[in-house]
Structure 1
Amino acid sequence: MKELRFHGRGGQGVVKAAQIIVSAVVDTGKYGQFIPFFGVERKGSPVFGFLRVDDKDIRIKTQVYTPEILVVFDDTLLPMEKTFEGLQENGVVIINTKKSIDELNLPENAKEVYLVDATGIALENIKRNIPNTTMLGAFAKACEDFIDWEVLQQNIQAKFGDANVKSAQVAYDKVQKYSL
């Protein structure tokens, strides 16, 4: 089972992005589960959620305490202690940022890091500061071993249309991978 945690801010589309992933996973015959967690429910406040993907039925219904993969929709959340809490050794981190890898203070257990300016790509392609579908492109590149990129694109298309698929494709093509 793959366990992931998503970190973002209200209004960035964290929940919708995770729902699209779950739909894509289910469409390929696997099982997916997303449990959102909201603190203060308002635009701009920190939100996070827990995603699980498996080849068999997922019975556990708890938070993800030791994620293999972190998806961070807003780099201002990186200094928060809870963002990297429990990240497994050799963890994968996908970050929406304009910063270089050298400018980020990443934990030692982050061994694979993917950086993309999802906000900039979203503003250019969908004309809105909602990086969710753009982050799905970076996510697909980082998680090719368990997500079908074509099926994910079909789910983005069904939910949000052409501009969002294009935004995701740009992120898929531009995301930068770093091995630490």
Structure 2
Amino acid sequence: MFEIRIHSRGGQGGVTAARLLAMAALHDGKYATACPFYGAERRGAPVVSFVRIDDHPIKVYSQIRDPDLVVVLDASVMDTVDVLNGLKKGGRVLINSAHKKDFAGYTTFHVDLTGIALKEKLVVAGSPILNTPVIGALAKMGIVSADSAKAAIRGMFTDERNVNAAEAAYREMSA
């Protein structure tokens, strides 16, 4: 089973990104679950979401303590949350950043999801929405296929800017 933990802030699209990723995995013929964890948070508060993907039915629906991959949609979350806590040895980190950041012992990927969202004008209440661009980056990492990522996005959103954002992140993502 491949387990992913997504760290974001309320209003950035982290919960929706988890749902989109699970939908893309289903399009790939896998089993998947998505589960958010938050209380009475407001826009801007730290939020964590979880995704499990497997070739077999998934019978666990809970928080993920030891993920294979950590996704950080807002680097400022790292000021208050230990996003690497429990990340498996040799695990991977995807961070929303225009600049490379290294985390010792982990393979790190980065892409400027915020810049992509702003370029595509994917903004709600003044905040860039990062859910669709991050799905493109995850497709580039091979977590889901690019075609399934686009199918999941189109299944949830009619605005083609969302697919454009995913395609841009796919092109621009680097290790």
TM-score (structure 1 length as normaliser)? 0.88
* DSSP-derived class of the 2:79 partner: coil
1:140 corresponds to: 139
Letter of the structure 2 residue corresponding to residue 23 of structure 1: M
CA 1:65–1:95: 2 relative to 1, 3 Å: same
Letter of the structure 1 residue corresponding to residue 149 of structure 2: L
Deviations 1:102-152 (A, max 9, x none): xx4x54231x2111110111011134111111111111111x1x4121011
1:118 and 2:137 equivalent? Answer: no
1:7 corresponds to: 7
Q: 1:109 aligns with which of 101, 105, 108?
A: 105
Aligned length: 170
Q: Residue 70 of structure 2 contacts residue 92 of structure 2 at CA under 8 Å; is this kept in 1?
A: yes
Select the structure that is richer in helix.
1
Q: How many Å separate the matches in 2 of 1:81 and 1:138?
A: 23
Superposed, 1:7-86 pairs within 5 Å as 7-86=7-86
1:81 CA drift (Å):
4.2
Q: Residue 31 of structure 2 contacts residue 53 of structure 2 at CA under 8 Å; is this kept in 1?
A: yes
Q: Residue 73 of structure 1 contacts residue 96 of structure 1 at CA under 8 Å; is this kept in 2?
A: yes
1:165 corresponds to: 163
Letter of the structure 2 residue corresponding to residue 168 of structure 1: A
Q: How many Å separate the matches in 2 of 1:167 and 1:32?
A: 23
* DSSP-derived class of the 1:22 partner: helix
Moved over 6 A (4+): none
Q: How many Å separate the matches in 2 of 1:159 and 1:139?
A: 17
**Gapped regions of structure 2 (runs ≥ 5):** none
Deviations 1:74-127 (A, max 9, x none): 0112233431100111111111113x22xx4x54231x2111110111011134
* DSSP-derived class of the 1:34 partner: strand
1:176 corresponds to: 174
Q: How many Å separate the matches in 2 of 1:75 and 1:49?
A: 16
Letter of the structure 2 residue corresponding to residue 109 of structure 1: G
Deviations 1:21-67 (A, max 9, x none): 11121222211011100144210000001110000011122211111
1:150 and 2:150 equivalent? Answer: no
Query: What RMSD in Å do the two structures reach over aligned CA positions?
Result: 1.4
Q: Residue 94 of structure 2 contacts residue 108 of structure 2 at CA under 8 Å; is this kept in 1?
A: yes
Q: How many Å separate the matches in 2 of 1:40 and 1:57?
A: 31
TM-score (structure 2 length as normaliser)? 0.91
